[in-house]
A = this chain, B = another copy of it.
Amino acid sequence: MQPILVPLYNGLRMEIEDYLAARGESVDSYLEAYLERRAAELLATLYDAIVYSLSGGKRLRPILVLAAAEALGGRAEEVLPTAAAVELFHTYSLIHDDLPAMDDDGWRRERPSTHRAFGEATALLTGDGLLSLGFELLANEQARLSPVERVLRVIGILSAALGPVGMVGGQLGELELDEFADGASLEGIYLQKTGALLGAAAAAGGVLAGGATEEIAALQNFGLRLGLAYQVIDDLLDLGEDRGMTYPRLVGEERAQEEAQQFTISAVKALEPLGARAAILREIGEHLLARRS
């Protein structure tokens, strides 16, 4: 089968896997250098727990920041602090999600979860610290590279996606689900829990690249719907584990697989206002639908 080729901002063509790997490495290098620079100010335990918790991971959310900016003619290098912040936000949510009071998950990113490796108090504080550190990156580092109005708008978008009407609301909504949950309420929770940050990541890239209102809205809708697809696929991959009420449990495995495809199609459709510039984002959507981990 022919590898899928996607156009890049500089006109070269690359396979989507190579694009994801290259952008993921940019994010990792940036994060590594940033944490290195801050290491002397940080308590050793906290530095270690941060580095430990960040390692592994697909870097999907920060890559969305880069890809969205590139789709609108921006350069990946110029939005790296925001991409890195988004990965800190995602990692904070994983650490807190894994805590005994929440999902009580002992395993994450192919190693013991942060509270298993460092204890509960350190894990709680590491999550807290990553959330604030993400905002530091935005306010202090992204602000060196972008107009202040755009950075402030990005902070507004991301904080809303993380907060009570976004991710945190979705996590609490999920805890409150019972066996009478229907598809619509599950969809609402998935949108908040997973879609909000993916949508905000894409929108942030668009804002920093100077996108027009309807372009930014298209990017945010893409991310929101991609989040729905992503979460359903997550549930399908986790089938058999006790995850409470999930989409596959509600509608069956086959139907859930079809829904994930429909959500991906609707995500890609949301990109229409961007035309051909959205090629990489479309490829990312289709790539995620086919993922097996």
Contact = CB atoms under 8 A, between A and B. Distances in A.
Interface of A: 38, 41-43, 45-47, 50, 96, 99, 101-102, 120-122, 124-125, 127-129, 131-133, 135-136, 138-140, 143, 148-149, 151-153, 155-156, 159-160, 162-166, 168-169, 171-173, 175-176
Contacts of A46: 164, 168-169, 172
A184 to B, nearest CB: 16
Contacts of A120: 101
A91 to B, nearest CB: 13
Contacts of A139: 152-153, 155-156, 159
A163 B129 contact: yes
Contacts of A121: 101-102, 172, 175
Give the number of copies in the complex: 2
A165 B47 CA distance: 10
B136 A171 contact: no
Nearest to A164: B129
Contacts of A166: 132
B129 A131 contact: no
Given A50-B164, A102-B124, A125-B175, 17 more contacts: A42-B164, A43-B173, A45-B172, A45-B176, A46-B164, A122-B172, A125-B171, A128-B168, A129-B163, A133-B163, A135-B135, A135-B163, A136-B156, A136-B163, A139-B153, A148-B149, A155-B155
The A interface is mostly helix, strand or loop, or mixed, namely helix
A232 B125 CA distance: 23
A136 B124 contact: no
A149 B153 CA distance: 12
A165 B41 CA distance: 6
Contacts of A42: 164-165, 169
Contacts of A122: 172, 175
A84 to B, nearest CB: 14
Most chain B CB within a 10 A radius of its CB, from A38, A47, A128, A166: A128
Nearest to A192: B43
A171 B96 CA distance: 17
A41 B165 CA distance: 6
Contact of A160 (B131, B136, B176): B136
A175 B165 CA distance: 32
A151 to B, nearest CB: 6
Contacts of A148: 148-149, 152
A94 B18 CA distance: 45
A162 B102 contact: no
